[in-house]
Amino acid sequence: MRDRFGGLLAWVGWIGALGALTVAYLPFRDGIDPVYVTLSFLLVVLGGSATGGRALGLALTFIAYFGFHFFFVEAFDSLTMVNARDTFVLAAFLVTSLVASHLVTRARADAAAARARTSEVERLASIGAETLAAGRAEDALRAVIEVIRTTAGVDRGELIPDERAHTRHVQAHELHFPLTAHGQRAGTLVLSHHAEVHLTDAQRRFLTALAHYAALAAERVRLVADAEQAEASRQAEALRASLLAGLSHDLRTPLTTIKAIASRLRGRLPEAAAIEREADRLDRLAGDLVDLSRLNAGAVPIRAEVNAAADLVGAAVQRARDAHAADRLRVVPFDADGSPPVLAMFDFVHALRALSNLVENALKYSPPDSVVDLSVVRDEQTVSFSVADRGPGIAAHEAELVFDAFYRAPGAPMDTGGAGLGLAIARRLAREQDGDVTVTGRPGGGSVFTLTLPAASA
């Protein structure tokens, strides 16, 4: 509206100027050099083109041309020409006027375009600064959206998460920009206005570029949230690990006293054996809690080396012997005399822990008069240590559940000891060494827990 008004003013002004010049020169047209007239008219054409645009420039060109022709070229007050030379003057004037008008108009358009580009670059720079600003990620995102909104000249701008964007229809007077940053969806930018929004292609392209910054800002919000959560998790885990380690020491000192006294009373007091056993159980529980916590915090260094399977089996038997249960553990021979010993890649202490947990589990959950079989099988890639018991077996749907920390099979007797951590720790330790612990049923009743570790050769 203002443009139109301004345009009208320019038209009236410059045409009026032409008229005024014509009136001014009219009395002198007999003796005046046509150069004065042509140059003055040219100035008006230039001025009109510069301020009023191409249309005005063209209009002024032709008005000036015919005005000059009519009033100032013989024969005066008509469009007939008397001198042939005047043809050249007229033609020169027309061409000069047209070219000048064109050049000025173009220069004006170029200048306007350059200003628009500068403004775009400044906008991009300011958005870039907002995106990278060290302020809170949410504030930066809001600032970016605000810059986009004002650039588009719309009433509202907001970021819709993907889940809502799919169900929302594109309403009238809305622009939707899907945002993607680093190959990941970051939501949809919705610009809404009270009236229809018309954008030129150049504006749409520019807004799409700005939307990319919005995507980066949105991604930054998400990453900051993830990082904060991960840090909080890590700190909580580290705190838990250190608390448990302190607890472990504080528990073990009184346990030492209890256990030592109980073992001294073994011959004299029938309950002494039970006291010692329960002290051992508490000790194991404290150890398991600390270890599981440290494993979860990633604080357990695992150094896998080439080890002999027979060594691991022997150490597991030794553990069972220490717990006075070796007579219930039977090893199926696997290292035939002539053949090279079966070797595997593992951290001895941690693999022994895992295997002992499986053996203990088997002994605990099977009848006291039954035997637990330990066998070893080597194939191309792995060495499998299988612990088979004649216990109640594991239901198919529980096969994965038993490896969850603190899981206790429903219906299991409450005094079987431990806290349900043995299998969880065994599996974690196995997996940290590129192995695993799995369970299957046993023909004839019971379960077979298998510890697999990567095979090795000498």
Partner 1 sequence: MGRTILLIEDEAPIRAVVRDALWSPGDVWLTAPTGSEGLALATAHRPELIVLDLGLPDLDGLVVCRSLRAVTPAPILVLSARHDEAQKVALLDAGADDYVTKPFGSTELRARVRAHLRRTEAAAVRPSGRLVVGELDIDTERRTVTAGGLPVHLAPTEWTLLSALVANRGRTMTHQQLFRAVWGEGTFGHPQQYLRVYITHLRRKIERDPYAPRLIVTEPGVGYRFDLPDPADDA
Which two tokens mark 243? 């608390």
User: In 3D, which of 290, 302, 298, 168 has the Cα closest to residue 240?
Assistant: 290
Give the residue with the Cβ less far from partner 1, 417 or 441: 417
Give the residue with the Cβ less far from partner 1, 98 or 315: 315
Give the residue with the Cβ less far from partner 1, 214 or 290: 290
Q: What CA–CA distances, in Å, run from 163 to 127, 145, 156, 187, 231? A: 26, 19, 20, 8, 27
User: In 3D, which of 299, 290, 292, 285 has the Cα closest to residue 244?
Assistant: 290
Give the residue with the Cβ less far from partner 1, 222 or 284: 284
Q: How far is the CB of 356 from partner 1 (least distance, A)?
A: 10
Q: Count the Cβ atoms, other than its own, within 10 Å of residue 224.
A: 14
Q: How far is the CB of 437 from partner 1 (least distance, A)?
A: 19
Which two tokens mark 409? 């099979």
Q: Are 358 and 387 in contact (CB under 8 A)?
A: yes
| % helix, strand, coil for the chain, step of 5 | 60, 15, 25
Instruction: Using the CB atoms, write b or e for 174-195: b if 16+ within 10 Å.
Output: bbebebebeeeebbbbbbbbee
Give the residue with the Cβ less far from partner 1, 335 or 398: 335
Site residues for partner 1 per CB under 8 A: 248-249, 252-261, 263-264, 266, 276, 279-280, 283, 287, 305-308, 310-311, 313-315, 317-318, 321, 326, 331, 333, 335, 337, 340-341, 343, 348-349, 352, 458
The Cα–Cα gap between 56 and 326 comes to: 109
Give the residue with the Cβ less far from partner 1, 235 or 257: 257
Q: Tell me the CA end-to-end span of the chain in Å, nearest whole number.
A: 90
Q: How far is the CB of 289 from partner 1 (least distance, A)?
A: 14
Cα–Cα–Cα angle for 451, 397, 367, rounded to 5 degrees: 60
Give the bridge partners for 436, in sequence order: 452
Give the residue with the Cβ less far from partner 1, 348 or 407: 348
The Cα–Cα gap between 245 and 23 comes to: 106
Which two tokens mark 210? 């700005």
Q: How far is the CB of 369 from partner 1 (least distance, A)?
A: 20
DSSP 225-280: HHHHHHHHHHHHHHHHHHHHHHHHHHHHHHHHHHHHHHHHTTTT-TTHHHHHHHHH
Q: How far is the CB of 340 from partner 1 (least distance, A)?
A: 8
The Cα–Cα gap between 432 and 442 comes to: 27
Give the residue with the Cβ less far from partner 1, 63 or 359: 359
Give the residue with the Cβ less far from partner 1, 188 or 384: 384
Q: How far is the CB of 134 from partner 1 (least distance, A)?
A: 43
Q: How far is the CB of 226 from partner 1 (least distance, A)?
A: 35
Q: How far is the CB of 311 from partner 1 (least distance, A)?
A: 6
Q: How far is the CB of 249 from partner 1 (least distance, A)?
A: 5
